Amino acid sequence: MELKDIFSLITGLAMFLFGMNAMGDGLKRVAGSKLETILWKLSSTPLKGVLLGTGVTAVIQSSSATSCMVVGFVNSGMMTIAQAIGIIMGANIGTTATGWILSLAAVDGGDSGAIWTQFLSTTFISAVFALIGVLFMMLAKKSALKSTGDIMLGFAVLMSGMKMMSGAMDGLESSVVFQDMMTSFSNPFLGILAGTVITAILQSASASIGILQALSISGAVSNTTALYLVIGMCIGASMPVLLSAIGATTNGKRASIIYLIFNTIGAIILSPIFYGLDYFFQFAYMDMPADAISIALINTVFNTATTIILLPFVKQFDKLVCALIKDKKDDKERVLLDRLEERFLEHPGVAIDQSRTVLMAMAEKSQRNLQRAISLLTNFNDKEYEVVQEKEEVIDNYEDKLGTYLVKITGLELNENQSREVSRFLHTIGDFERIADHAVNISHVAKEIHEKQLSFSHEANRELEVLAGAIEEIVTLSVSCFVGDENTDIYRVEPLEEMIDLLCDELKLRHINRVQNGNCTLNQGFVFSDLITNYERIADHCSNIAVALIEVDLDAMDIHAYLNGLKEHKSKEFIKYYDEYKVKYAL
């Protein structure tokens, strides 16, 4: 091999890897987030997991990407180890589709001289894909068509790189050094080791298979050598999955080693079986030179056979990885926030789903903390008071993590519905956090009443109970609608919020009269006013949440203008609900 051939090989490899990456990214964008969501939701049994893992990996052209995604699901608590095992087994089968695509590079138009045969060549097909891909990228306005252009261009570059690598291999069949190296790889141990190291360096089993297919052009690679190299390449493909688990939870780390254990056990079982059978029966086919198609076939047969053999032992796999990686004490406390996985940012639909789950949990925590704070007004308890303060810190942490994660999502390529949903989350997250802040304020008021031994008149206590009931209802309405309770009508929030505003104004006037008449002291007046102010602000935040859920275009419309217009031009529904609350919370 001359120096120019080495340069050609390096260039071809670079084009091959770039084309594979571009094609895979384009396929992910065209498929959207549905594949990832299906993978998460429909893997209830090992067999379903295998089928789904196979299908998804065949589409996105990367078993490592599928396995890393699964590690993220397990790490966040969305998926069990048993579910992950089935999907990773399927991913091993699905990734073999790449080898069959690459074997197209071996297709030639023939040497008959007829013009029409040239249209069957890989060169012509690559040229057509490249031309259409460029036109789609330059002229298409829809993102789906542009992504389709990326797929076509990626395929064309990949096939061109494959051709260039194959061309650089011409003449290797006469190299004694190369032949000796290939012959040594027919030793099971050396062949598997070489395949493992090559793939661990390239971080892609598909790329390794492609290089092996290019090498087969020389005719120096036997089917036996190809088999052991392919087995090693399957083991080496676990490297990027293992790297993805750095910093993951215990379950995330367990999921990451499944890929390695699965392929290693497959190699341990199948290699001796084949080696023994070949020793006694001497399969003539295995001594023949390998080609691109036979390598693709060997890859598919090995991965499929490994899956069939090991599928019945999913439970044993689960126990094995749990025994290898022990539980940690703090894992349970991290589960919910761990749903905000950085890995999911490559799949916006899944990232948004997880943000919604965490935000719903945050909303419910804010509601419960408010209920605790209100109960302190009539039954103060130091322990419960401390719980309110602690939960506020937890909710603040939720807001911080969620806000950061949602901002990262906004930088991704989102469709219109996804952008609207993320915008809604960003608008509501602050309102839920502020409700929790007001709960803390109310707990402080309760503590002041307890420490100063303040007591309101019977009339003032009754009025506060009425207002507190209205506040608890409006918060319950807002949270229930946000978490998707179909039995709750979001259009009830605004009439109740207006009723609460009028209640607050009325209570202030009544208390001023009591202070002036000497029925209440000035200190009691300050505390009473603080309570009413916090209640009123809570209702305002519930109003903001309702507006976001009604899907008003928050970026294009002023919220206050919308609310003012709603109250000025009251609908029959608004008046109906308002009158209902006027009776329910009458003083």
Residue in the structure block whose two tokens are 């025994």: 323
Spatial neighbors of 584 by CB under 8 A, at least 6 apart, are none
Residue 332 belongs to a domain? no
384 lies in which domain range? Answer: 348-584
Q: Phi/psi zone of residue 282: left (φ > 0), alpha (ψ -120 to 50 degrees), beta?
A: left
Q: Could you tell me if 256 and 362 lie in one domain?
A: no
Q: What is the DSSP letter of 86?
A: H
Same domain, residue pair 285 and 397: no
DSSP letter (8 states) at residue 289: B
Say if residue 484 is in the same domain as residue 417.
yes
Query: Do residues 309 and 406 both lie within one domain?
Result: no
Residues 432 and 298 in one domain: no
Are 361 and 245 contained in the same domain?
no
* Gap between the Cα atoms of 243 and 502, Å rounded: 59
169 in the same domain as 284: yes
Assess whether 213 and 245 both reside in one domain.
Answer: yes
* 405 and 298 within one domain: no
Angle at CA of residue 18, ends 16 and 19, nearest 5°: 65
Residues 240, 64 contacting (CB under 8 angstroms)? yes
Q: Is the domain of 265 the same as that of 359?
A: no
Does residue 336 lie in a domain region?
no
Task: Give, as one character, the DSSP assignment of residue 486.
Answer: T
Share of the chain above pLDDT 70, in %: 81
The SS3 of residue 347 is coil
Question: Which pLDDT score, from 0 to 100, does residue 555 have?
Answer: 47
Q: Which amino acid is at 302?
A: F
Q: Are residues 314 and 395 in the same domain?
A: no
User: What region does 557 belong to: left with phi over 0, alpha with psi -120 to 50, or beta?
Assistant: beta
pLDDT in tens, 142-198: 777 887 888 788 878 877 776 777 666 665 555 666 666 766 777 878 888 888 888
Residue with tokens 């076939």: 297
Q: What are phi and psi of 111, to 5 degrees?
A: -110, 25
201 in the same domain as 82:
yes
Look up the pTM and report it: 0.55
pLDDT per position as a tens digit, 39-84: 656 666 778 888 888 887 777 666 777 777 777 777 666 677 888 8
- Please give the pLDDT value at position 276: 81
Q: What is the mean pLDDT of residues 497-521?
A: 84
- Chain segment 328-370, per-residue pLDDT in tens: 654 444 556 667 877 778 778 888 888 888 899 899 999 999 9
Total of domains in the chain: 2
d(CA 41, CA 236): 29
Q: Is 8 part of any domain?
A: yes
Query: What single-letter amino acid sits at 507?
Result: L
* Helix (H/G/I), strand (E/B), else coil: 222: strand
